[in-house]
Amino acid sequence: MSVAVVGGAGYIGAHVVDVLRARGEHVLVVDDLSTGDADRVPGLPLTRIDVTDPTQVAPLATAFRQHEVDAVVHLAARKRVDESVAHPTRYLRDNVAGLANVLDAATAADARTVVLSSTAAVYGTPDAAGAPVDESTPPRPENPYGTSKLACEWLLEAHARAHGVAATSLRYFNVAGAARPVLADRGTSNLVPIVLDRLRADRAVEVFGGGLTTRDGTPVRDYVHVVDVAEAHVVALDALRSGRDVPAVVNLGTGEGSTVLEVVRAVARVLGVEPRVDVVARRAGDPVSVVADVTLAGTALGWRARLRLEDIAADAVRCDAGLTPELTDSSR
Protein backbone atom coordinates (compact mmCIF):
# COMPACT_ATOMS: atom_id res chain seq x y z
CA MET A 1 0.00 0.00 0.00
CA SER A 2 1.14 3.51 -0.65
CA VAL A 3 -0.24 7.03 -0.71
CA ALA A 4 -0.04 9.22 -3.80
CA VAL A 5 0.28 12.90 -2.91
CA VAL A 6 -0.72 14.88 -5.98
CA GLY A 7 0.84 18.32 -5.67
CA GLY A 8 3.30 16.78 -3.21
CA ALA A 9 6.17 19.13 -4.17
CA GLY A 10 4.13 22.19 -3.15
CA TYR A 11 4.22 23.98 0.19
CA ILE A 12 1.36 22.13 1.92
CA GLY A 13 1.74 18.92 -0.12
CA ALA A 14 5.39 18.53 0.88
CA HIS A 15 4.44 18.88 4.54
CA VAL A 16 1.83 16.13 4.06
CA VAL A 17 4.52 13.97 2.43
CA ASP A 18 6.82 14.68 5.37
CA VAL A 19 4.30 13.57 7.97
CA LEU A 20 3.39 10.45 5.98
CA ARG A 21 7.07 9.52 5.61
CA ALA A 22 7.71 10.11 9.30
CA ARG A 23 5.32 7.32 10.13
CA GLY A 24 6.69 4.93 7.58
CA GLU A 25 4.19 5.22 4.74
CA HIS A 26 5.30 4.59 1.17
CA VAL A 27 4.66 7.81 -0.74
CA LEU A 28 4.43 8.51 -4.47
CA VAL A 29 4.74 12.21 -5.26
CA VAL A 30 2.88 13.44 -8.36
CA ASP A 31 3.66 17.01 -9.41
CA ASP A 32 4.23 18.89 -12.65
CA LEU A 33 6.73 21.13 -10.80
CA SER A 34 5.10 24.25 -12.26
CA THR A 35 4.97 25.81 -8.81
CA GLY A 36 6.29 22.88 -6.78
CA ASP A 37 9.94 22.14 -6.12
CA ALA A 38 11.55 18.67 -6.31
CA ASP A 39 14.02 19.73 -3.59
CA ARG A 40 11.16 19.49 -1.11
CA VAL A 41 10.80 15.73 -1.66
CA PRO A 42 14.30 14.29 -2.16
CA GLY A 43 14.72 10.56 -2.50
CA LEU A 44 11.07 9.87 -3.17
CA PRO A 45 9.50 8.53 -6.37
CA LEU A 46 8.27 11.58 -8.29
CA THR A 47 5.96 11.26 -11.28
CA ARG A 48 6.08 14.49 -13.23
CA ILE A 49 2.62 14.77 -14.74
CA ASP A 50 0.32 17.70 -15.51
CA VAL A 51 -2.95 16.31 -14.13
CA THR A 52 -5.05 18.82 -16.09
CA ASP A 53 -4.02 17.00 -19.29
CA PRO A 54 -6.55 14.22 -20.06
CA THR A 55 -3.96 12.28 -22.06
CA GLN A 56 -2.10 11.79 -18.77
CA VAL A 57 -4.86 9.79 -17.05
CA ALA A 58 -3.55 6.45 -18.36
CA PRO A 59 0.11 7.12 -17.43
CA LEU A 60 -1.05 8.32 -14.01
CA ALA A 61 -3.09 5.14 -13.49
CA THR A 62 -0.02 3.14 -14.49
CA ALA A 63 2.10 4.98 -11.92
CA PHE A 64 -0.57 4.37 -9.25
CA ARG A 65 -0.59 0.64 -10.07
CA GLN A 66 3.20 0.38 -10.14
CA HIS A 67 3.42 1.90 -6.68
CA GLU A 68 0.40 -0.02 -5.35
CA VAL A 69 -1.37 3.20 -4.44
CA ASP A 70 -4.52 2.64 -2.39
CA ALA A 71 -5.07 6.25 -1.28
CA VAL A 72 -4.70 9.63 -2.94
CA VAL A 73 -4.27 13.06 -1.36
CA HIS A 74 -5.07 15.65 -4.02
CA LEU A 75 -3.62 19.12 -3.53
CA ALA A 76 -2.54 20.09 -7.05
CA ALA A 77 -4.45 23.23 -8.00
CA ARG A 78 -4.18 26.86 -8.91
CA LYS A 79 -4.69 28.90 -5.75
CA ARG A 80 -4.25 32.62 -6.33
CA VAL A 81 -7.45 34.48 -5.61
CA ASP A 82 -6.50 37.57 -7.66
CA GLU A 83 -5.49 35.45 -10.66
CA SER A 84 -8.77 33.56 -10.43
CA VAL A 85 -10.73 36.81 -10.64
CA ALA A 86 -8.85 37.73 -13.81
CA HIS A 87 -8.99 34.23 -15.35
CA PRO A 88 -12.12 32.39 -14.19
CA THR A 89 -12.11 29.83 -17.02
CA ARG A 90 -8.53 28.84 -16.23
CA TYR A 91 -9.41 28.28 -12.58
CA LEU A 92 -12.64 26.38 -13.12
CA ARG A 93 -11.22 24.32 -15.97
CA ASP A 94 -7.87 23.44 -14.46
CA ASN A 95 -8.92 22.80 -10.87
CA VAL A 96 -11.96 20.71 -11.75
CA ALA A 97 -10.29 18.87 -14.66
CA GLY A 98 -7.25 18.14 -12.49
CA LEU A 99 -9.39 16.47 -9.85
CA ALA A 100 -11.53 14.62 -12.44
CA ASN A 101 -8.44 13.18 -14.13
CA VAL A 102 -6.90 12.12 -10.82
CA LEU A 103 -10.17 10.43 -9.79
CA ASP A 104 -10.36 8.58 -13.11
CA ALA A 105 -6.77 7.39 -12.71
CA ALA A 106 -7.42 6.37 -9.09
CA THR A 107 -10.52 4.39 -10.07
CA ALA A 108 -8.64 2.69 -12.92
CA ALA A 109 -5.92 1.71 -10.45
CA ASP A 110 -8.47 0.66 -7.80
CA ALA A 111 -7.31 3.28 -5.29
CA ARG A 112 -10.43 3.85 -3.20
CA THR A 113 -9.51 6.46 -0.62
CA VAL A 114 -9.29 10.17 -1.48
CA VAL A 115 -8.54 13.27 0.60
CA LEU A 116 -9.06 16.59 -1.17
CA SER A 117 -7.45 19.90 -0.33
CA SER A 118 -10.20 22.51 -0.08
CA THR A 119 -10.45 25.98 1.40
CA ALA A 120 -12.32 28.39 3.63
CA ALA A 121 -12.73 30.46 0.45
CA VAL A 122 -15.83 28.34 -0.27
CA TYR A 123 -17.61 30.25 2.54
CA GLY A 124 -17.05 33.73 1.11
CA THR A 125 -17.98 36.17 3.87
CA PRO A 126 -19.56 33.81 6.37
CA ASP A 127 -20.67 36.20 9.08
CA ALA A 128 -20.23 39.95 9.29
CA ALA A 129 -20.04 39.76 13.09
CA GLY A 130 -17.13 37.31 12.88
CA ALA A 131 -18.72 34.26 14.49
CA PRO A 132 -16.83 31.02 13.74
CA VAL A 133 -18.14 29.29 10.63
CA ASP A 134 -19.09 25.61 10.71
CA GLU A 135 -19.54 23.14 7.87
CA SER A 136 -23.34 23.44 7.86
CA THR A 137 -23.03 27.07 6.73
CA PRO A 138 -24.16 27.30 3.10
CA PRO A 139 -21.09 27.92 0.92
CA ARG A 140 -21.12 31.19 -1.00
CA PRO A 141 -17.73 31.62 -2.65
CA GLU A 142 -16.92 35.17 -3.70
CA ASN A 143 -14.18 34.46 -6.21
CA PRO A 144 -13.58 31.85 -8.92
CA TYR A 145 -10.88 30.18 -6.83
CA GLY A 146 -13.46 29.44 -4.12
CA THR A 147 -16.02 28.42 -6.73
CA SER A 148 -13.57 25.99 -8.32
CA LYS A 149 -12.84 24.34 -4.96
CA LEU A 150 -16.55 24.06 -4.16
CA ALA A 151 -17.08 22.42 -7.56
CA CYS A 152 -14.25 20.03 -6.69
CA GLU A 153 -15.87 19.13 -3.37
CA TRP A 154 -19.14 18.39 -5.14
CA LEU A 155 -17.43 16.37 -7.85
CA LEU A 156 -15.65 14.32 -5.18
CA GLU A 157 -18.90 13.65 -3.32
CA ALA A 158 -20.65 12.48 -6.50
CA HIS A 159 -17.67 10.35 -7.52
CA ALA A 160 -17.43 8.79 -4.07
CA ARG A 161 -21.10 7.86 -4.17
CA ALA A 162 -20.92 6.46 -7.69
CA HIS A 163 -17.81 4.36 -7.15
CA GLY A 164 -17.90 3.45 -3.47
CA VAL A 165 -14.86 5.59 -2.76
CA ALA A 166 -14.08 6.73 0.81
CA ALA A 167 -13.46 10.46 0.58
CA THR A 168 -13.39 13.77 2.41
CA SER A 169 -12.58 17.41 1.62
CA LEU A 170 -10.50 19.35 4.14
CA ARG A 171 -11.27 23.06 4.19
CA TYR A 172 -8.06 24.85 5.16
CA PHE A 173 -8.24 28.26 6.74
CA ASN A 174 -5.08 30.43 6.55
CA VAL A 175 -2.17 27.99 6.47
CA ALA A 176 1.24 29.32 7.51
CA GLY A 177 4.56 28.36 9.15
CA ALA A 178 6.92 25.59 8.08
CA ALA A 179 8.62 22.49 9.46
CA ARG A 180 11.98 23.03 7.71
CA PRO A 181 13.50 25.75 5.52
CA VAL A 182 13.24 23.72 2.31
CA LEU A 183 9.51 23.21 2.86
CA ALA A 184 8.69 26.89 3.45
CA ASP A 185 6.08 28.89 1.54
CA ARG A 186 7.88 30.86 -1.18
CA GLY A 187 6.82 33.30 -3.86
CA THR A 188 3.38 33.69 -2.40
CA SER A 189 0.94 36.49 -1.83
CA ASN A 190 -0.06 35.29 1.63
CA LEU A 191 0.26 37.48 4.69
CA VAL A 192 2.88 35.76 6.85
CA PRO A 193 5.61 35.50 4.14
CA ILE A 194 4.84 39.07 3.06
CA VAL A 195 5.21 40.36 6.63
CA LEU A 196 8.51 38.52 6.97
CA ASP A 197 9.87 40.02 3.74
CA ARG A 198 8.80 43.53 4.64
CA LEU A 199 10.08 43.51 8.21
CA ARG A 200 13.40 41.97 7.21
CA ALA A 201 13.81 44.68 4.56
CA ASP A 202 12.93 47.35 7.15
CA ARG A 203 9.88 48.33 5.12
CA ALA A 204 6.36 49.04 6.30
CA VAL A 205 3.74 46.29 6.04
CA GLU A 206 0.69 47.30 4.05
CA VAL A 207 -2.41 46.44 6.02
CA PHE A 208 -5.42 45.97 3.77
CA GLY A 209 -8.18 47.71 5.66
CA GLY A 210 -8.51 49.65 8.90
CA GLY A 211 -11.51 50.90 10.80
CA LEU A 212 -13.33 47.59 10.46
CA THR A 213 -15.62 46.22 13.15
CA THR A 214 -12.85 44.00 14.60
CA ARG A 215 -10.94 44.50 17.88
CA ASP A 216 -8.21 46.63 16.29
CA GLY A 217 -9.98 47.53 13.06
CA THR A 218 -7.99 45.16 10.80
CA PRO A 219 -9.26 41.90 9.21
CA VAL A 220 -9.42 38.70 11.25
CA ARG A 221 -8.36 35.27 9.96
CA ASP A 222 -7.76 31.83 11.46
CA TYR A 223 -4.03 31.11 10.98
CA VAL A 224 -3.30 27.40 11.25
CA HIS A 225 0.17 25.83 11.29
CA VAL A 226 1.02 23.79 8.20
CA VAL A 227 2.30 20.91 10.36
CA ASP A 228 -1.09 20.66 12.08
CA VAL A 229 -2.79 20.76 8.67
CA ALA A 230 -0.48 18.03 7.36
CA GLU A 231 -1.22 15.85 10.38
CA ALA A 232 -4.95 16.23 9.77
CA HIS A 233 -4.51 14.56 6.37
CA VAL A 234 -2.91 11.54 7.98
CA VAL A 235 -5.67 11.33 10.58
CA ALA A 236 -8.31 11.60 7.81
CA LEU A 237 -6.57 8.92 5.73
CA ASP A 238 -6.50 6.56 8.71
CA ALA A 239 -10.20 7.10 9.38
CA LEU A 240 -11.17 6.59 5.73
CA ARG A 241 -8.94 3.54 5.27
CA SER A 242 -10.38 1.89 8.36
CA GLY A 243 -13.90 2.33 7.03
CA ARG A 244 -15.04 4.89 9.57
CA ASP A 245 -17.70 7.41 8.65
CA VAL A 246 -16.00 10.67 7.79
CA PRO A 247 -17.99 13.81 6.94
CA ALA A 248 -17.81 15.02 3.33
CA VAL A 249 -16.23 18.31 4.42
CA VAL A 250 -14.20 19.22 7.52
CA ASN A 251 -12.80 22.61 8.57
CA LEU A 252 -9.11 22.79 9.46
CA GLY A 253 -8.37 25.82 11.61
CA THR A 254 -7.56 26.66 15.20
CA GLY A 255 -10.93 28.15 16.10
CA GLU A 256 -9.16 31.38 17.09
CA GLY A 257 -8.98 34.53 15.01
CA SER A 258 -6.02 36.89 14.73
CA THR A 259 -6.04 40.37 13.24
CA VAL A 260 -3.52 41.47 10.63
CA LEU A 261 -1.87 43.72 13.26
CA GLU A 262 -1.55 40.78 15.64
CA VAL A 263 0.19 38.76 12.91
CA VAL A 264 2.56 41.65 12.18
CA ARG A 265 3.37 42.04 15.88
CA ALA A 266 3.90 38.29 16.37
CA VAL A 267 6.44 38.15 13.53
CA ALA A 268 8.12 41.42 14.63
CA ARG A 269 8.49 40.08 18.16
CA VAL A 270 10.36 37.02 16.92
CA LEU A 271 12.55 39.15 14.66
CA GLY A 272 13.16 41.61 17.47
CA VAL A 273 12.17 44.62 15.40
CA GLU A 274 9.70 47.45 15.83
CA PRO A 275 7.13 46.99 13.05
CA ARG A 276 5.94 49.78 10.81
CA VAL A 277 2.55 49.48 9.14
CA ASP A 278 0.71 51.47 6.49
CA VAL A 279 -3.03 51.00 6.63
CA VAL A 280 -4.20 51.09 3.02
CA ALA A 281 -7.50 50.44 1.27
CA ARG A 282 -9.29 47.14 1.81
CA ARG A 283 -8.50 44.54 -0.84
CA ALA A 284 -11.45 43.91 -3.15
CA GLY A 285 -13.53 40.97 -1.99
CA ASP A 286 -11.69 40.58 1.34
CA PRO A 287 -14.07 39.43 4.10
CA VAL A 288 -13.80 41.26 7.44
CA SER A 289 -13.52 38.10 9.52
CA VAL A 290 -13.18 34.38 8.76
CA VAL A 291 -12.64 31.99 11.70
CA ALA A 292 -13.22 28.24 11.74
CA ASP A 293 -15.60 26.39 14.00
CA VAL A 294 -13.44 23.31 14.53
CA THR A 295 -15.91 21.18 16.47
CA LEU A 296 -16.40 18.67 13.65
CA ALA A 297 -12.67 18.04 13.16
CA GLY A 298 -12.54 17.13 16.85
CA THR A 299 -15.58 14.89 16.98
CA ALA A 300 -15.25 13.22 13.58
CA LEU A 301 -11.47 12.91 13.30
CA GLY A 302 -10.18 13.46 16.81
CA TRP A 303 -7.96 16.23 15.37
CA ARG A 304 -7.27 19.64 16.73
CA ALA A 305 -4.59 22.19 15.93
CA ARG A 306 -1.91 22.16 18.60
CA LEU A 307 0.10 25.15 17.43
CA ARG A 308 -0.85 28.82 17.54
CA LEU A 309 0.14 32.12 15.94
CA GLU A 310 3.29 32.40 18.11
CA ASP A 311 4.49 29.01 16.81
CA ILE A 312 3.68 30.00 13.23
CA ALA A 313 5.63 33.23 13.58
CA ALA A 314 8.59 31.54 15.28
CA ASP A 315 8.80 28.70 12.75
CA ALA A 316 8.32 30.98 9.74
CA VAL A 317 11.14 33.27 10.93
CA ARG A 318 13.52 30.41 11.71
CA CYS A 319 12.88 28.67 8.41
CA ASP A 320 13.29 31.93 6.53
CA ALA A 321 16.69 32.29 8.20
CA GLY A 322 17.63 28.79 7.05
CA LEU A 323 17.27 27.27 10.50
CA THR A 324 15.19 24.23 11.33
CA PRO A 325 12.73 25.07 14.10
CA GLU A 326 13.43 23.38 17.38
CA LEU A 327 10.44 21.21 18.02
CA THR A 328 10.38 22.13 21.66
CA ASP A 329 6.73 23.04 21.87
CA SER A 330 5.46 20.83 24.65
CA SER A 331 2.41 19.86 22.64
CA ARG A 332 4.46 18.32 19.79
CB of 138 to ligand WQD, least distance (A): 17
Q: Which is nearer to ligand WQD, 196 or 239 (CB)?
A: 196
Toward ligand WQD, which CB reaches closer, 281 or 327?
281
Q: Which of 102, 121, 212, 291 is the binder for ligand WQD (CB under 6 A)? A: 121
C-alpha of 237 from chain center: 16
Closer to ligand WQD at the Cβ: 25 or 154? 154
Per-residue x/- track, 194-223, ligand WQD (CB under 6 A): x-----------xxxx---------x-x--
User: Which of the stretches 16-24, 38-46, 117-125, 162-170 binds ligand WQD when contact is defined by CB under 6 A?
Assistant: 117-125
Among the residue ranges 17-25, 29-37, 185-193, 292-300, the one whose residues contact ligand WQD (CB under 6 A): 185-193
Q: Which is nearer to ligand WQD, 81 or 227 (CB)?
A: 81
- Cβ proximity to ligand WQD, 108 vs 279, nearer residue: 279
- 48, 140, 161, 283: which one contacts ligand WQD (CB under 6 A)? 283
Q: Which residue is nearest to ligand WQD (CB)?
A: 219
Q: Could you give the residue numbers annotated as active site?
A: 145
Q: Rule CB under 6 A: say whether 189 interacts with ligand WQD.
A: yes
Q: Which stretch binds ligand WQD (CB under 6 A): 21-29, 98-106, 186-194, 299-307?
A: 186-194
Q: How far apart are the first and last CA of the chain?
A: 27
Least distance (Å) between residue 137 CB and ligand WQD = 15
CB within 8 A of 75, min separation 6: which ones?
5, 6, 7, 8, 10, 12, 13, 16, 117
Pairing of strands 166-172, 113-119: parallel
Q: Which is nearer to ligand WQD, 160 or 195 (CB)?
A: 195
| Smallest distance from ligand WQD to CB 272, Å | 21
Per-residue x/- track, 7-46, ligand WQD (CB under 6 A): ----------------------------------------
Q: Does 324 bind ligand WQD (CB under 6 A)?
A: no
* Candidate list 100, 120, 229, 307; residue touching ligand WQD; CB under 6 A: 120
Residue by residue, what is the 3-state secondary structure of the chain? CEEEEECCCCHHHHHHHHHHHHCCCCEEEECCCCCCCHHHCCCCCEECCCCCCHHHHHHHHHHHHHCCEEEEEECCCCCCHHHHHHCHHHHHHHHHHHHHHHHHHHHHCCCCEEEEEEEHHHHCCCCCCCCCECCCCCCCCCCHHHHHHHHHHHHHHHHHHHHCCEEEEEEECEEECCCCHHHCCCCCCCHHHHHHHHHHCCCCEEEECCCCCCCCCCCEECEEEHHHHHHHHHHHHHHHHCCCCCCCEEEECCCCCEEHHHHHHHHHHHHCCCCCEEEECCCCCCCCEECECCHHHHHHHCCCCCCCHHHHHHHHHHHHCCCCCCCCCCCC
The contact set with ligand WQD (CB under 6 A) reads 79, 81, 119-121, 174, 189-191, 194, 206-209, 219, 221, 260, 283, 286
